[in-house]
Every structure is written in C-alpha cells, then in structure tokens.
Amino acid sequence: MCDDVERGQMIADNIRKILLNCDLRLVHAQGELELANQDFKLYSKLGGQANARKALRAKAKRDVYKIYIDNINKVKSQVTVGLNKVLSRYTPKYQKIWVMYFMEQASIDDICTAVAYSRGNINVIIKKLKMDLTHHYNGGKSND
C-alpha cells in the first residue's frame, strides 16, 4: 500500500491524464465534425437520391460529434472546476509550483528558477502538495 505522498502523485497524474485525454479527444472530434460538415454541404448541393442519403448520414454524424464534443467539454469543465477548488487554497506561488510540477511536469530546477525558491524548499512544498491532494481527494478522511 502506498503512502499519502505516492497517492497524491497518482491523483495528480490521473488529473493530468484526464485533461490531456479530453484535449486529444476534442481535437479529433472537432476534425471529424468539420469533415462531416463539409460532406453535408457537398452532398446537399448535389442532386439525386444517393447524395441525399449521403447528406443525411453526414448530418447524423455531425450531430453525433456535436453531442460528443459537448460531453467532453462537460467532463473537462468538471475536472477543471475541481482542480481550481483545490488550487484556490494556495498562494499564487504555490499554485504556480502545483501547476508546473503536476500538470506541466517541469523539473525541480525549472520550478526553482520560476519561483525563486531553493531546491530543498521546492521538494518540501511538493511533498506537502501531494499530501494535501490526497487529503482533499479522500474528503479529509484517513485511510488508516
């Protein structure tokens, strides 16, 4: 079983992966939506029953991707709201450390440079942030 620091790191990694996954899915879905829009416009202009069916399929595909994009945006929004709730408890410098370390996966040296803290201070702050994240994720309950 892992300790609070390791659990905090896993939670942060999962948040980052969820947000990245949402972004990748959005890019893909927006491309597919654009293709469906173009197909719909093309087949709508062309005559004939076969093209009318193709236009209808393109319209259906377009509508499905619109719903899919809305759902992804809702998930991303929920994760972002939760993340902002966690971050709101910290000073701007701690927020910057949190984002740089967990979301951007910046090196300790880069973080030290950005916030003008020593390596030792950054390590202590990151350990505290990991423990806080575990505490927040567990609703303040201990797993012991």
Which tokens hold the place of 87?
A: 């971050």
pLDDT digits (tens, 9 = 90+) for 72-121: 999 999 988 988 888 898 999 999 999 999 889 999 999 999 999 999 99
* H or E element that contains 109: helix 108-115
User: Nearest to residue 29, comparing CAs of 66, 56, 60, 54?
Assistant: 66
Rounded to two decimals, the pTM is: 0.74
